[in-house]
Each structure stands twice: as C-alpha cells, then as structure tokens.
Structure 1
Amino acid sequence: MSFCYRDLISLFNQSFADTYNTRLELGNDEPIYLPADAEVPYHRIIFAHGFFASALHEVAHWLLAGEARRQQPDYGYWYHPDGRDAEAQAAFEAVEVKPQAIEWALSLCCGFPFNVSCDNLNGCVDPDRHAFRARVREQALRYLAGGFPARARIFMDVLRQHYGRPGLSAADFD
C-alpha cells in the first residue's frame, strides 16, 4: 500500500479545517504547531520533510491537546533537543507516552508501520526503547478500553474508512 502525506493533509483538513480552524501543512525542517495570529488566520500543524510518520505524530499531539494548549506555539511545551541526559530523556518520554499511543492507533488505522520515537540519537544516555514502547502500549490499551480523546476518535474513523481498515483490538498493539 502506498502512503502519501498529501492524503493525510487532505483528510485532516477536510475533518478539522472548518470546525477547529486548523490545517495540517508540509514543512521543510523541524515540525511545529503554530496557533492563528495576525499574519495567518488559522492554526497550523507543520510536519517535517513530507514524512508520513511525522505528520501522524504531529497530528497526534494536536488530537490530544486541550483548548488552552492549542492557543500556544508548540502547545506551550518545552522541547529539549536531541542530546538529552537521563533526566531530560525521562521528562521527554513522560510527555510523549500519550501522543505516541495515539500515533500508534492512527498508524494502525492507516495500516502504516509504527515505531516509538525516543528522539535522542546523540544523547548522553542510550534510551531504553523497549521499556518506552511498553509504556506507550500500556497507554494505547488504556485508551482502547476507556476511549480515545474525541478528536482522535473522529480522525481514526476517517483514516480507517479511507484506508479500508478494521476497528482496533488489543492484539493490534502487540
């Protein structure tokens, strides 16, 4: 199956441009979320380099963010770049568990392979990808049992319909 970021842009914008004044856009460098301002009258989720996985990841952050967070650049979160020490890596992973659980579900709804991102290739510490993946999986299973956030459910349904995918089960997250 072919995965084209243009499909994600179209599907996301059809789903949320009117109701949430938010658009998914292709970027060149680092991904970022920018709320509407005097120059651009809509919110923008900008993903990196046309990567399908980057688009899913950035959308997952938006699907999770509440109203107040969506009014701030990058949802008001800090981002400590690649090269984190053990303490900064632990803080990064704590913030990333929920969005990556949503990203995993979105990936399944597309039939696209999912890989957790520890995002610390040049860090002082070698992240434990297996432990982090297990925490992301646990969160995904909690969402599956208790319900994904409302906007995530909407987009998951859109993706499943577009890609002809079945509903999710716990076995999908193995």
Structure 2
Amino acid sequence: MNLSPNDLIMLFNDVFRERYRTILVKGSYEPEYIPAQSPEAFARIVFAHGYFSSALHEISHWCIAGAHRRTLHDYGYWYCPDGRTAEQQHAFEQVEVKPQAIEWLFALAAGARFHISVDNLSGDGASDEAGFRQKVRAQAERYLFQGLPERANEFFNALQSFYGTRESIIKDWRQDADRIAPLTCASNFSRKIETV
C-alpha cells in the first residue's frame, strides 16, 4: 500500500479545516502546533520532514488537546528535546501514553506500521520501556473497545473508510498488539482475574 502524507493532509483538512479552522501541513524540521493568529486565520499542525508517522503523531496530539490548549503554541506543553535525564524522560513517557495510543490506532486504520517512540536516543533511553509499551497498549485497547475522544474517532473513521481497513481492524489490532507490547505471564494472569 502506498502511504502518502498528502492523503493525510487531504483527509484531515476535509474533516476539520472549516469546523476547527485548523490545517495539517508538511514541515521541514521539528513538528509544531501553531495556533491561529486571527479569527480568519487557520491554526497549523506542522509535521516533521513530510513523514507519514509524524503526521499521525501530531494529529493525535491535536485530537486530545482541549479548546484552551489549542489557542497555545505547541498546546502550552513543556518539551525537552532528545537527551533527557531519567526524571525528564519519566515525565515525557507519562504524557505520551494517550497520544501514542491514538497514533497506533490511526496507523492501524491506515494500514501503516506503528513504532513506540521513547524519543530519547542521545539520552539515557526509556525510563521503563517495557512498562511504557504496556501502558500504551492498555490505553489503545481501551480506546479501541470503549471509544476514542470525539475528534480522534472522526479521524479514525475517515482513515478506515479511505484505506478500507474497517473490516480487519480488530484482527490487525490483535496481531499488532503482540508485536508492540507482548503481554507477560503476570499480565495474562491479572487479565484473566479481571475478566472472571
């Protein structure tokens, strides 16, 4: 399947451009959210280097940002670049669970391969990569079976329709979940207890 970021731009802008006065655009360097500078202007979600996965990730952040946060540059979030300390990395991983869970479901809906990102290659790496993977998996599973936030759900549905993945999404999820974050014996045991 040919995965073009131009298709994501078209889909996102078709679904959200007029209603939310927001557009998705390719960037050259770092991703960034730029709020509208006037009532007639558009807010811009800029994704890095024209990468498909970067677009999905930045859209996922936008989908969970509330109305006030969407008036702030980069949603008003603190961001410390690659090379974070263990404490900074722990904070980063805590706020990345929901966006990465949504990004994962978007990737499945587009037929794309998702990769967990701890985004700290020149630092100490993940503070708890296995734990982070399990948290992202659990959140993605909750979203898939209990419902995504409203805007994320709209985009998820648009992706499934465009890429024709609606019928296979649950099967694809089950296969991908084990690739990204295999359940441990302890996790399987606790899940069996929860379902009894």
- What range describes the TM-score normalised by the shorter chain of this pair? over 0.9
Identity %: 51
CA separation of 1:82/1:148 partners in 2, compared to 1, >3 Å: closer, same or farther?
same
Residue of structure 2 in register with 1:130 after alignment: 130
Determine if contact 2:118/2:125 at 8 Å carries over to the other structure.
no
SS of match in other structure, 2:81: coil
Residue of structure 2 in register with 1:107 after alignment: 107
Residue of structure 1 in register with 2:50 after alignment: 50
- Structure 1 CA distance, aligned partners of 2:125 and 2:98? 21
- Structure 2 CA distance, aligned partners of 1:23 and 1:126? 33
Which segment is superposed worse, 106-115 or 35-44? 35-44
CA shift, 1:40, in A, is 7.9
SS of match in other structure, 2:25: strand
Structure 1 position 120 matched with structure 2 position 120: yes
| Larger helix percent | 2
RMSD: 1.5
Determine if contact 1:36/1:42 at 8 Å carries over to the other structure.
yes
Residue of structure 1 in register with 2:177 after alignment: 173
Structure 1 position 83 matched with structure 2 position 87: no
- Structure 1 CA distance, aligned partners of 2:125 and 2:150? 35
TM-score (norm 1): 0.94
What per-residue deviation string (whole Å, max 9, x for no partner) do you get for residues 5-56 of structure 1?
A: 0000000000000110000000000000010004981110000101000000
CA shift, 1:131, in A, is 2.4
SS of match in other structure, 2:154: helix
Larger Rg: 2
SS of match in other structure, 2:50: coil
Counterpart residue type for residue 115 of structure 2: N
TM-score (norm 2): 0.84
Determine if contact 1:83/1:122 at 8 Å carries over to the other structure.
yes
- Structure 2 CA distance, aligned partners of 1:9 and 1:38? 22
Counterpart residue type for residue 75 of structure 2: Y
> Where does structure 1 differ by over 4 angstroms across 4 or more consecutive aligned residues?
none
- Structure 2 CA distance, aligned partners of 1:113 and 1:35? 30
Determine if contact 1:116/1:129 at 8 Å carries over to the other structure.
no
Give the length in aligned residue pairs: 173
Which segment is superposed worse, 126-135 or 88-97? 126-135
The 5 A counterparts of 1:65-84 are 65-84=65-84
Determine if contact 1:60/1:102 at 8 Å carries over to the other structure.
yes
Residue of structure 2 in register with 1:158 after alignment: 158
CA separation of 1:51/1:117 partners in 2, compared to 1, >3 Å: closer, same or farther?
same
Counterpart residue type for residue 173 of structure 1: A
Question: Structure 2: 5+ residue runs without aligned partners?
Answer: 179-196
CA shift, 1:173, in A, is 2.9
Question: Structure 1: 5+ residue runs without aligned partners?
Answer: none
- Structure 2 CA distance, aligned partners of 1:44 and 1:38? 12
